[in-house]
Amino acid sequence: MKKPFALSLIAAALMVAGSVQAKEVTDADISNDAKTTGDVVHFGLGQQGQRYSTLDKINTKTVKNLVPVWSFSFGGEKQRGQESQPLVFDGKMYVTASYSRIFALDAKTGKKLWKYEHRLPEGIMPCCDVINRGAALYDNLVIFATLDAQLVALNKDTGKVVWKEKIDDYAAGYSASAAPLIVKGMVVTGVSGGEFGVEGRLEARDAKTGKLIWIRPTVEGHMGYKWVNGEKTDNGISGTLNATWTGDLWKTGGAATWNGATYDPETNLIFVGTGNPSPWNSHLRPGDNLFSSATVAINPDTGKIVWHYQTTPHDGWDFDGVNEFVSFDYKDPKTGKIIKAGGKADRNGFFFVIDRTNGKLINAFPFVKDITWAKGIDLNTGRPIYNDDNRPGNPAAGEDGKKGKTVFAAPSFLGGKNQMQMAYNPKTGLFYVPANEWGMDIWNEPVSYKRGAAYLGAGFTIKALHDDYIGALRAVDPVAGKIVWENKNFAPLWGGVLTTAGNLSFYGTPEGYLKALDAKTGKEVWSFQTGSGVVAPPITWEEGGEQYVAVVSGWGGAVPLWGGDVARRVNFLEQGGSVWVFKLHNGK
C-alpha cells in the first residue's frame, strides 16, 4: 500500500530537519582561535592569551563611527561584579555572570536563547566577590566553574546539564571562578581559596565526560596523581618534602591557581600562575615556599611540572603570582635571535620576560612607579633584591606578641596588576597592561588554621598614592624594558585589554567607559558610557562582513570589598550587569 503523498512530504521534511546538526567546537577550532576572525571560542582569544585580533575594519580612522548594536541585561538583583569574557560561535554568544550564571544569546540581536543559574549553597566563601570570568567551549558543550567549586558542562544549544563534577569542598574554603583552559580534549581548571588555606592545584578532565585525567598540586609536598583506564596512579610528589616549607604548614599552603592558565602548542606546556602562600604571615613559614607566587609550566600529557619561576619567593605581602603568562616571540637585541618567551606583569610590580622553554629569566623591570618591597630583580639569579626593612614584622618579636611592626608597602596586595588581563600586539611589539598605583599599611598577626575560616595572619589598609589617578593603561616594551606611554584613570583599572591590527587597544574603566586608544601613541580615539563599571575584557569578531566589539559591564570585584581607603574613594560607582555589543555605523 502506498503512503499518502502528504505524509511522504512530512516524513521527508523531518528527515532533512533531523540531518541538520549544530556545529561542534573542535580541537582545531581552539588551536586556531587567534587566527580565525569569525568566532571567539577560547578565553584570551586563543590558548596563548595574547588577546590580539587581526581584524582591522575598526581602526583609528573608523572607530569614531562605532555605535551600540544591542545590550542585554543579566537582570534581577544579582548584579555585583561582572568579570566575564564572552565567547562567540555559530552565531551564538555565551557569557557568564555573577552568582555562577551563564546565558546563551543570539550574537547579532542579543535575544536570549537560554540561561542556566547554578544553585549555590548559603555557605560559599569567595574571597573576592561573586564573579565568574568566563566559560569554555568544546564539542557540543559549554563548560564553566562555580563558586561552590563545581564544574558544570551544558549542552551549548539547549542549556541542559550534560555532566557536573565536584572540584572540592566549598565548606573548606574552595571556590572556582576562572575560565577553563581547553587542551587536547581536556578541560583544565584550578582552584580559589588561598585565604582559607586550601591546597592549590591544577587538574585536567576529559572535556566530554568530566572524568579526571590528572591532578598536579602547586604546593611542594602534596602528591600528584594520574588516572589510567579509570585507575588512580601515583604521578610523583610536587617537589621534595620540607625542602622549601619547614614543619607542616605546607599542608594548608595555599598557592591557589585562581586566575586560570594559558597553553603554548609550540612547547606543549601549560602555564599557570600560583597565588600567595598561606598564611600571609611569612615569619611562620621560612623558606621559598614552592610553588607559591610563581609561574609553573606543566606538561599536559603527563601532568608533571617541567619548570617553575618564582616571582616572589617567601611572599610576605600577598603579591600572589597568578597573573597570566602570555607567550610571544622575543627578539634578542644583542644577537637578533628569536626566543620563545612569555611575558608576565606580576602583582608585585615587576614585568617579567621568561624563556618559555625552560623558565630562565630574560628580563625584568618595573611597570609601576612605586615599589618598596624590593630594589629590583637580579637578572643573574632571577631573585628579588629584597628591602628587608619593608617586610611586615614578626608578631612574636613584639612586646605583646599580638601585632608585628607595621610597614607601608607598595604596590598594595591588590597588585600593580591583578586579575585584569593584559594584551600583546605583535605589530607594535608592545604589551598593554592595566596597572594600578597604590600602597598599603600592612602588619602581621598570630594565626592558626581552622578549616573553613579565614587564614591570613595579617591586617592592612590600602591607600592611593596620587590624588589624580590610581589606574593607568600602560604600553610596555618587553625588549627595551620600559613604559612607552600611559593613559591615566582616576579609579583603579580592573578590566582586561583587547588589541587589534587596526592599531587599537580597547579597555574599560570602573567609571563605566569602554575606551579605544591608538595602540602606538596611547591617544584616546573613542569612548562609550556603558552605565556601570567595566571590570571585564573586551572581545571582537567578524560576521557577515562586519566587525563587532563586545564587553560585559558591571562594577565589583575585589576593590570595593578589600580596598580600604581606595574603596571609600570610589564608592560613588554603581553596580550593574549587562553585555554591550558594537559595530560601525552603516558598516564603515
3 state SS for 265-293: CCCCEEEEECCCECCCCHHHCCCCCCCCC
> Is the pLDDT score of 2 beyond 70?
no
Q: What is the DSSP-derived secondary structure letter of residue 131?
A: -
Residue 399 or 136, more confident: 136
Q: Could you give the CA distance from residue 408 to residue 389 in angstroms, rounded to a whole number?
A: 10
Q: Which domains does the chain have, with CATH numbers?
A: 23-587 (2.140.10.10)
Cα 467 versus chain centre, distance: 29
Confidence of residue 141 (pLDDT cuts 50, 70, 90): very high
- Residue type at position 176: A
pLDDT of residue 226: 95
Q: What backbone phi and psi angles, to 5 degrees, belong to 547?
A: -95, 135
Question: One of 33, 288, 315, 318 is an active-site residue; which one?
Answer: 318
| pLDDT tens figures, 337-385 | 999 999 999 999 999 999 999 999 999 999 999 999 999 999 999 999 9
Q: What is the DSSP-derived secondary structure letter of residue 206?
A: E
DSSP-derived 3-state class of residue 529 = strand
Question: Mean per-residue pLDDT for 174-182?
Answer: 97
Q: Could you give the CA distance from residue 551 to residue 456 in angstroms, rounded to a whole number?
A: 34
Question: Mean per-residue pLDDT for 486-508?
Answer: 98
Q: What is the mean pLDDT of the chain?
A: 94
**Which residue, among 275, 201, 289, has the nearest Cα to 246 in the 3D structure?**
289
> Is the pLDDT score of 570 beyond 60?
yes
Please count the residues of the chain.
Answer: 588
Cα 158 versus chain centre, distance: 27
Confidence of residue 9 (pLDDT cuts 50, 70, 90): very low
What is the percentage of the chain residues whose pLDDT exceeds 90?
Answer: 89
- Residue type at position 577: G
Reading the block at residue 198, the C-alpha cell is: 586550601
pLDDT of residue 428: 98
Q: Could you give the CA distance from residue 494 to residue 420 in angstroms, rounded to a whole number?
A: 5
Question: Mean per-residue pLDDT for 38-55?
Answer: 98
Question: Mean per-residue pLDDT for 92-111?
Answer: 98
pLDDT of residue 493: 98
pLDDT of residue 398: 75
pLDDT of residue 336: 94
Reading the block at residue 563, the C-alpha cell is: 580596598
> Is the pLDDT score of 111 beyond 50?
yes
pLDDT of residue 229: 87
Q: Could you give the CA distance from residue 198 to residue 196 in angstroms, rounded to a whole number?
A: 6
pLDDT of residue 236: 83
Question: Mean per-residue pLDDT for 567-580?
Answer: 92
> Is the pLDDT score of 254 beyond 90?
yes
DSSP-derived 3-state class of residue 83 = coil
* Whole-number CA gyration radius for the chain: 24
Strand bridging mode 201-206 / 430-436: unpaired
pLDDT of residue 253: 96
Residue 365 or 240, more confident: 365
Question: Mean per-residue pLDDT for 15-38?
Answer: 82
Which of 6-10, 177-181, 255-259, 452-456 bottoms out in mean pLDDT, i.e. has the lowest?
A: 6-10
pLDDT of residue 338: 97
Confidence of residue 588 (pLDDT cuts 50, 70, 90): confident
> Is the pLDDT score of 20 beyond 70?
no
C-beta of residue 241 within 8 angstroms of C-beta of residue 217:
no
| pLDDT tens figures, 142-160 | 999 999 999 999 999 999 9
Confidence of residue 387 (pLDDT cuts 50, 70, 90): very high
Confidence of residue 205 (pLDDT cuts 50, 70, 90): very high
Confidence of residue 587 (pLDDT cuts 50, 70, 90): confident
Q: 370 catalytic, yes or no?
A: no
Strand bridging mode 497-500 / 52-53: parallel
Q: What is the DSSP-derived secondary structure letter of residue 252?
A: G
